[in-house]
Structure 1
Amino acid sequence: MLQQIADFRDEAEELAGLLDTLPPAAWVAPTGFKAWTPADIVQHLHHSDRMAMASADGQEAFAAFRGRMQALRAGGLNTVQATREMLGDPRPPALLHLWREGVAALCERLSGLAPETRMPWAGPGMGLRMFATARQMETWSHGQAIWDLMARDRPPAAPRLRNIAEIGVRTYGWTFRNRGQEPPGAQPAVRLRASAETWEWPGEGGLVEGDATEFCQVAAQTRNIADTALRVEGEAARVWRALAQCFAGPPEMPPAPGTRVRSARPPG
């Protein structure tokens, strides 16, 4: 099994461990992410993993799966409603069980592919390693809203977080191309602290420096940069951090300061 696939599996299991502790009231409580509930988030992750399984089956299967979702959206349903329609609206604890089974099946399916396999997706296609990292990133980023809702500290940055930092760095150009813009300059250097390690990426367009978790939170739009202690030098770095988007799909603006932060106390 490629390390990136194992990291995705471990990311999902860590989140599942938190979900196992949620009381019934928490499953239906709105989080700071677009007021989605934990049930909405897990349904979304399960749907995305099923779409990833379709991608593993090839372009035709992927296009058919995505086409069904697009038809529901064109019929007037929002993302949450369309996902419920696609999945049959499973409820906890069955939902948690379905998602965990889906992750295990997807990891097994991806492990059977050649490492050089190209995977179709909603945005640009990806190689298998980056595809697995994208699944890890989505699981990690959506999970943040649940950790925040439950007023729980997330475990310290594990070595697998470097995968998400990597995708955050690599999507510098994508952040602007996705908006029909030219990058404001050369890619900035990035220097991140992760436990006892320092992770570095070269660049000439300034510098982004600070905590690895906070960098990944900003890249995945689970935090506004104003709610972090990241240090930014240079205009290109400043504009990038203000718009950073490391996920596929249409451009989205980062959350307003103070809106996606840890709750004072958990629901229930």
Structure 2
Amino acid sequence: MLNYGLDLSDIRRDVALTYLVAEGNELDALLSAQLDWTKPTPAVGWTIAHQIAHLAAADANALTALRTPEAFDLVLKQTEAAGNQAADLDAAAGAAQPRSDLLAQWRSGRTELAAALRTMPLDHAFPWFGSEINATLMVPLRLMETWVHGQDIRDTLGVRPRPTQRLRPIAALGYAGRGLSFYAAELPLPTEPFRVELDAPDNHTWAWGPKDAPQRIHGSALDFCLRVTQRRTLSETDLTAVGDHAQTWLENARVFL
């Protein structure tokens, strides 16, 4: 089971799903006021339409994995055949559609996915890229991806990111993804524990890891999420590290390969 070492025991599924729906609705409202979907975004070669097409394709894949796991084998084979170009090809195909069709596809897909995840048993495993997954992990993963591609669109439009409580599951994924960060950098995962303390939007502190951990990271929840999703360089954030391993983590931070 792919679990990232993730502990979301303090986030109920209904709350996380509410965050996912709200994130999609907020992005939808922004897009409804934006007429030109051909504007290039920070992702090289991707316009606003590409970003939405990618989200729509990912939601469709998740629905296939949930409803017809045997059919998801074909998705995996097609993705493997396309290699590093898989996401670009899917995004380009979706972006070529009329804007109204793409928007309708994204809206219906994310609504169907939220409904399916709401009723699925939390421990029911279904296939995903690289391993199996369950609803406990899929909800924050879809939230993270909706937020991060929405951030690309906000950056394109010059809209400042607005921190909300919806960042908490994304930050939890960031903490859990520390192993990916060292793996991608071809470095061994340190055995010392890490402590992450983040300034939350409601002026509270979100924290993960032992209080006495020698490796420590501190900063705003927004900047941590922007960093682990690789939407900001370390120098563009307010994040600070205590310990060489904590610094190395921030320099290579990611939640996906």
Shorter-chain TM range is 0.7 to 0.9
Match of 1:45 among 45, 52, 55: 55
Equivalent-residue separation in structure 1 for 2:41 and 2:218 (angstroms):
28
- Find the counterpart in structure 2 of residue 30 from structure 1: 40
For structure 1, list consecutive stretches of 5 or more residues without a partner in the other structure.
Answer: 252-268
- Find the counterpart in structure 1 of residue 236 from structure 2: 227
Aligned length: 242
- Find the counterpart in structure 2 of residue 14 from structure 1: 26
Q: Would you say the 8 A contact 1:207–1:232 is kept in 2? A: yes
* Residue aligned with 1:120, SS: strand
- Deviation sequence 1:61-112 (CA, Å, 0-9, x none): 22222323333x15x9563224444x58323132122101110011111122
- Find the counterpart in structure 1 of residue 140 from structure 2: 133
Code of the residue aligned with 1:19 in structure 2: it is: L
Q: CA distance change for structure 1 residues 218 and 119 in 2, over 3 Å: closer, same or farther? A: farther
Code of the residue aligned with 1:33 in structure 2: it is: A
Cα deviation, residue 179, structure 1 = 5.2
Match of 1:191 among 194, 197, 207: 197
Q: Would you say the 8 A contact 1:69–1:82 is kept in 2? A: no
- Find the counterpart in structure 1 of residue 8 from structure 2: none
- Deviation sequence 1:107-141 (CA, Å, 0-9, x none): 11112211211232213433312111000001111
Q: CA distance change for structure 1 residues 88 and 240 in 2, over 3 Å: closer, same or farther? A: closer
Equivalent-residue separation in structure 1 for 2:172 and 2:228 (angstroms):
10
Match of 1:80 among 84, 88, 112: 88
1:163 is the counterpart of 2:174: no
Match of 2:103 among 78, 96, 99: 96
Q: CA distance change for structure 1 residues 61 and 4 in 2, over 3 Å: closer, same or farther? A: farther
* Residue aligned with 2:99, SS: coil
Equivalent-residue separation in structure 2 for 1:209 and 1:124 (angstroms):
32
1:218 is the counterpart of 2:219: no
- Find the counterpart in structure 1 of residue 207 from structure 2: 200
Equivalent-residue separation in structure 1 for 2:158 and 2:95 (angstroms):
30
Equivalent-residue separation in structure 2 for 1:78 and 1:235 (angstroms):
36
1:5 is the counterpart of 2:17: yes
Q: CA distance change for structure 1 residues 142 and 221 in 2, over 3 Å: closer, same or farther? A: same
Q: Would you say the 8 A contact 1:5–1:129 is kept in 2? A: no
Match of 1:240 among 199, 224, 249: 249
Q: CA distance change for structure 1 residues 127 and 79 in 2, over 3 Å: closer, same or farther? A: closer
- Find the counterpart in structure 1 of residue 126 from structure 2: 119
* Residue aligned with 1:245, SS: coil
Equivalent-residue separation in structure 2 for 1:80 and 1:209 (angstroms):
35
Equivalent-residue separation in structure 1 for 2:209 and 2:80 (angstroms):
39
Equivalent-residue separation in structure 1 for 2:85 and 2:230 (angstroms):
24
Q: CA distance change for structure 1 residues 62 and 222 in 2, over 3 Å: closer, same or farther? A: same
User: Whose helix proportion is higher, 1 or 2?
Assistant: 2
For structure 2, list consecutive stretches of 5 or more residues without a partner in the other structure.
Answer: 1-12
Code of the residue aligned with 2:225 in structure 1: it is: C
Code of the residue aligned with 2:208 in structure 1: it is: W
Equivalent-residue separation in structure 2 for 1:214 and 1:77 (angstroms):
29
Code of the residue aligned with 1:13 in structure 2: it is: N
- Deviation sequence 1:205-238 (CA, Å, 0-9, x none): 4111011010001111111111111111111111
* Residue aligned with 1:93, SS: helix
Cα deviation, residue 201, structure 1 = 1.2
Identity of aligned residues (%): 28
